[in-house]
Structure 1
Amino acid sequence: MAASLTLSDLGEDAVVRALTALLPEAVQSVPLGPGDDCAAVAIAGSDEVELLKADSVVEGVHFLAGEDMRRVGWKALCRAISDIAAMGGLPLHALVTIAAAPSMQMLDLLAFYEGITKAAASHGISIVGGETGKTTGPLVCSIFLTGKVRASECVTRGGGRPGDVLFVTGLFGGSLASGRHLDFKPRLEEGRWLATHHFRSAMMDVSDGLAADLPRLALASKCGVSLAPERLPRHAGCSVEEALCEGEDFELLLAVPAQKVEGLKRDWRRAFPLVCLTDIGSLTEADKGCTPSGIFTKGGYDHFQ
């Protein structure tokens, strides 16, 4: 790799690939390592796997100065919960690390932590520890979250097959401008339902926008994509491009075998009458349709670009 390359030159996905290439071969107790919504670690003598997730929020990136800190705290934990949901799991325990400037108002820090504890209580999570530290820059909070799921029900990004129909939950677009990104409810119940009913072959959460996340699912599944962007369910006033590219929607994207589609639609309406489930395209053979890198003229959110 050229010594003069910056993170911006490479982009987030390439940076992650370069870092994970330094890791040793996965050990037998790790059925799922880097590259999915969570890692999955085998539990000796159990039919369940432990889910491990790390996430962070940074002032000026994930929220702006002056935001309601309780809402920011809610978002900080719910981002990680959304990834547990995408694996079909249940969240269990969290560690919370906060790096703050000494000049930060204590009342703001308390409000932030109250938001985290509210999200934890709402989703059955125990906060069991963490760390605090000093920063001369913006507030940074890192969350480490564990969960569990039966190995037979664990859903990954890589299970999709050509011919699978692509679905998304909910509506897309305008999350940042409206403030919905601070109040969203992770699709935990929906993800668990999809896992236990075995309708899906692959699933992930959509946090960076479909323009970024759909190619990730397709690549993990070694497929191409046939997409109907005009079918994407959008919040009022949002364009297709905004719905595809803005991110912070925290909905679920799933691939479903064609023979299971009608049953999924029927049973979903009964289970979640207030949550829309929309088919937006399909997975194709890798050499047909669009390659994942060529789906969109504009990408979703990338931390380094």
Structure 2
Amino acid sequence: MQTLADIGEDELIRRIVRKLPQGESVLAGPGDDCAVVHSARTPQVLKTDTVVEGVHFTTETPGRLVGRKAMARVISDFAAMAATPRHALVTLIAPPQTAVKRVLDVYTGLQALATEFGVSIVGGETSKGQQLILTIGLSGHVTGPKWIARSQARAGDHLYVTGKLGGSIRSKHLRFHPRMAEAHWLAEHLPIRAMMDISDGLAQDLPRLASASGLGFQVDLADLPRTPGCTPEQAWGDGEDYELLIALSPKTTAKQLTAWAQAFPKLKLTRIGKLVEKDQAPLVPSGGWQHFRSA
């Protein structure tokens, strides 16, 4: 009998979404950082994300940082589509013996980041379970003329990443700041074709972006911007960086890139490779994180 460990996360998702109903109101369904649906004024953006004790944090992780990470992850997905989050629902699952202070600390972390990004926590659910689990459902809207998808890239587009990659386990995975302002600036000022956030490692997420556009990619690991002390292999496969991965038109000018450096002088935008026709670079992910099995 085939198990989830045999097929991994990506193949499971492909099989699940094959026959899911998609009505006329759906503008972007499964397969991107967020879903996009019709609404009265501007397209509505929807996303859920879950953090699980023992997978995304430990029993020793301070509750405030658990809540912060749960909210930051889903806001990062909104950033990846240059969308604006507005309302959140929180589902909390916890063992009955969990200290009340730990749960209140979790909500302190949730609320702090939600307030920073203009998100209202409007409700949710609680339930008993074997471990602490938080699920955030977030809704918002598209603020520009078009959201940024993964699937509009073209062969020849240049690949860029923000910041530095690798070594997130040292604490960055708990304290990262979603690249919301940066994503909206990029969408407004540069010719972006596709974008996503790097959550499962460049080794997994770059093939996903390329595959969404029916393309392959070429990357030199030596070109990856690395967190001090990290190897190129760690920058490629560690995961939970939550930086932006961007496909830019090759017509992007030096003047446009200089404008980025002036707008965000402390955050480097690094070219790491390019997208190519699929037959020039078959998609063979190696490294990174997949649920249910090691990549």
State the SS of the aligned residue for 1:71.
helix
166, 170, 181: which one aligns with 2:163: 170
124, 129, 133: which one aligns with 2:127: 133
Of 194-203 and 225-234, the range deviating more from structure 2: 194-203
Alignment partner of 1:304 is 2:295: no
State the SS of the aligned residue for 2:262.
helix
Alignment partner of 1:254 is 2:246: yes
> Shift of residue 261 of structure 1?
4.3
> Shift of residue 150 of structure 1?
4.0
> Shift of residue 211 of structure 1?
0.1
Aligned partners of 1:263 and 1:98: how far apart in 2?
A: 47
Residue 122 of structure 1 corresponds to 116
> Shift of residue 197 of structure 1?
2.3
Q: CA RMSD in A?
A: 1.1
- The answer for unaligned runs of 5 or more in structure 2 is none
65, 79, 86: which one aligns with 2:73: 79
Give the aligned residue type for 1:218.
Answer: A
Aligned partners of 1:263 and 1:160: how far apart in 2?
A: 22
Q: Deviations over 1:97-144 (max 9, x none)?
A: 000000000011110111000110111110000000001x11011000
Aligned partners of 1:10 and 1:264: how far apart in 2?
A: 42
Aligned partners of 1:261 and 1:219: how far apart in 2?
A: 26
Alignment partner of 1:68 is 2:65: no
1:153–1:196 Cα contact (<8 Å) kept: no
Matches for 1:193-232 after TM superposition, within 5 Å? 193-232=185-224
1:199–1:264 Cα contact (<8 Å) kept: no
> Shift of residue 196 of structure 1?
2.0
Residue 185 of structure 1 corresponds to 177
Q: Provide closer, same or farther for how the CA distance between residues 141 and 302 of structure 1 changes in structure 2, counting only shifts above 3 A.
A: same
152, 160, 165: which one aligns with 1:159: 152
Of 7-16 and 263-272, the range deviating more from structure 2: 263-272
2:190–2:252 Cα contact (<8 Å) kept: no
Of 256-265 and 139-148, the range deviating more from structure 2: 256-265
> Shift of residue 21 of structure 1?
1.3
Sequence identity (%): 46
> Shift of residue 87 of structure 1?
0.3
> Shift of residue 219 of structure 1?
0.2
Aligned partners of 1:255 and 1:261: how far apart in 2?
A: 14
Alignment partner of 1:36 is 2:28: no
State the SS of the aligned residue for 2:110.
helix
1:153–1:195 Cα contact (<8 Å) kept: no
> Shift of residue 279 of structure 1?
0.3
1:72–1:112 Cα contact (<8 Å) kept: yes
47, 52, 56: which one aligns with 1:53: 47
- The answer for unaligned runs of 5 or more in structure 1 is none
Matches for 1:265-284 after TM superposition, within 5 Å? 265-284=257-276
Aligned partners of 2:214 and 2:115: how far apart in 1?
A: 39
255, 280, 291: which one aligns with 2:282: 291
Q: Provide closer, same or farther for how the CA distance between residues 53 and 111 of structure 1 changes in structure 2, counting only shifts above 3 A.
A: same
2:194–2:246 Cα contact (<8 Å) kept: yes
Alignment partner of 1:243 is 2:235: yes
User: What is the TM-score when the length of structure 1 is the normalising length?
Assistant: 0.94
> Shift of residue 152 of structure 1?
2.7
Q: Deviations over 1:27-62 (max 9, x none)?
A: 221110000000001123x3x211100000000000
Aligned partners of 2:94 and 2:164: how far apart in 1?
A: 34
1:55–1:143 Cα contact (<8 Å) kept: yes
> Shift of residue 72 of structure 1?
1.1
State the SS of the aligned residue for 2:26.
coil
Aligned partners of 2:228 and 2:68: how far apart in 1?
A: 25
State the SS of the aligned residue for 2:289.
coil
